[in-house]
Structure 1
């Protein structure tokens, strides 16, 4: 009979790895002492948790070999070595049993081919799973206490070396960090431009590579560690069985320590960078460089190269702002040219001013053959529903959720104390903290409920009516194309395609092909760039209505 063995250790410490070697020796001897048994293979997972099989590659290899009938019996030390997840234990023992393969858990004295094996296995697997939960809770508790003391968890980062839970400045890399902040804040360069310049200069990344990306620059600019602060628990593990980390969006409290370590960037410069990021409204990870900050963001396309148009701006002498839109390919690589490898780069499409775009849309709305009064009524109904919802107080519900969260924390604290997983001192300190918070929230909830009862309903109705009347007055000129409103036009606009056509008589003729949501036809406007007067309506010629291209 061919016999396989499976062994696993959950950490890579010397003691655990020595234990692993001992397990392998034991299985070899155990199989050799049984006449008729032949060792097929010993499957070994090192430094892998037993609560999930996703990353247990040796375990998965064993299952594939079982389906090929490479062996008829599996030996393992105990249930906790095989799986600490009850469902996994039952599922995979059944799967192997259906293949005619039994598993012997030596320390637990269970052979899965026995009649009562599954009942005994379920009980012992449940105990192993509960032990995993307690271990996970203890580890989380210990990590949180360490974080509160200022111990840094993680790995090295650009500009800092992490040793024994402390951050030390790496001066060589720190210069790169300072360069990035200066380029972004003082030179007003975008993250993609900075990434390109660093790559071209041959400056290495934290991993030693020469290729930089805008997302990496953005992550550096947002990292509070560079100004000396430390924020931890940005991610958390909600399920101890699968160990998958998730971003912490308020599910658990962040641990923040100000002035924790020596900064690379002055706090003033770091704050300026955050203000600049907020102003540009960049997306997390900067998957798109430009966002819906502006009415036309993501809605203007280049009819020549297919890239999106992006917003650019210049300050005027009178302190005003001249805003225009340009093809992203032209922004990144300039006018169309052929590089050293023979590839065509850049774009020659026209730049179009935001004032041009606004005039086109207002003109189109004015001339559009639709029932403006019906449109006004539909939009008004949407606003009315929103206003009615806004006047419903949500504060009591939010306070109730906070209260319930703290009550559960207190109950969990009691469980930890009764199972001797925290000291009496820690228990008393945290118990007092939670009880104080619970009392404050209960008083706040009572006051809020009473305030809502005392609110004069008639006054609220009068306020709502006034708000809705004001909204109607604002909407009328917008819907009739007399005034501009970013939100309205952003929501009715589907896209605008920009084309530049060479002409012998006029070398700079631009066409804007406009598509509105819910309308099949497109509307094309010709923009004569030779006229520099932004206010002159003569600059625009509506060339007609066409079907979709």
Structure 2
């Protein structure tokens, strides 16, 4: 059985996990069906397959032949996208697993059932798209009327509307202590301070963002660009954000006079916008250099990704010398209150990484010792995971008991529903979190990547990796490093400590690329074309 719920609204409309499971359990009991497992994705949208750990585990169990039929309350619980829906069905059919929907009253073991499934999938996607369009239309109308949509930025909060007796009616009010931060940001920028300088000062003072994080240059720029602070409401800044992200910038965003109080007066707002526009051109590149490892090396102090940097100095003869480094990204964007530069010379870092790869490749005994260590860790890693899973299952039982107790007291009229509704919601949120962790651990325990690593396979992977890395152009070498190197750590003395490599099915697709294979100059094409389980090694 599979159950999913994405929002509190669905739970309120009767789609809750408990309601789905109770219905499906009753159906199985009535028809004499044995339940192998209940797969639950709580608080996750059905728009895509991303993040649906229980569904991934379900598909793996189907591959192993652990059950022969999948039962859901309604097909939109499985997916709200026809493409994803048909992909899941095809995967199940390939492994001889039939599909049945309780509410839609059909199953896929017959041609008519398959046809009905496809039609219902298309109808479900149309229904979802219609709902999305209606919601967007409503939000556009709210924006045009000056009402906010979504989360409020730093400086504001929602309170009950004193002019409206309806419980759902809310008003936006200024948070004085947060408004001070916003005014300071605008005033400092108007006075000529840069984004990093402002972030550095705020972080030194101890100010935090809306989410409790330190300020970055990106966060400062987002605040300076937000017309909400000038009393305006902006909506439809991006189209199709879930797929396009910042690439989908809208040509016609809605900007209207808001019903909320402005924090920044018009004169200061206009001055800041003028300065932002003046500084918006892309400057010429201040230094040359091909940085292979930016984003891969981690700061030894805070763990942030190291980025490209340089220093300039003048020799006795008057010549300007540029020295290239990798420096802490958090220091570069947030200032010295967060971290320090912790720089390492570019040439030194890249030579050490390349030399270490070459040493491991040339000495089988070193690689063999690494593989043995990996296999030992794989053999023992399941024990803590099983202990954690046991603990989470115990917590789930306790939370379920608390929830049932409250519901029983409400049914017996010993408690008023309105007085404990918030507590029940808190318990349900905790249940969703525990269920997600349970699904993650169960997936990790059942994944095939716990099988022993074969020494010959690792040696061949590193040989191919090294051949491409030494022969390909810079862009391909950088792509390869970022594809296969998970993390490079430094020790306190700013020396390369460990290089974590991760190989999975992407290895084959990258090595079989004709351009890369030609650069390597040997027969890397179509090497081990079958899907490979992930292999992680530390050198």
Larger radius of gyration: 1
What's the TM-score once normalised by structure 2's chain length? 0.49
Q: Which has the higher contact order (CA 8 A, sep 6+)?
A: 2
For normalisation by structure 1, the TM-score amounts to 0.49
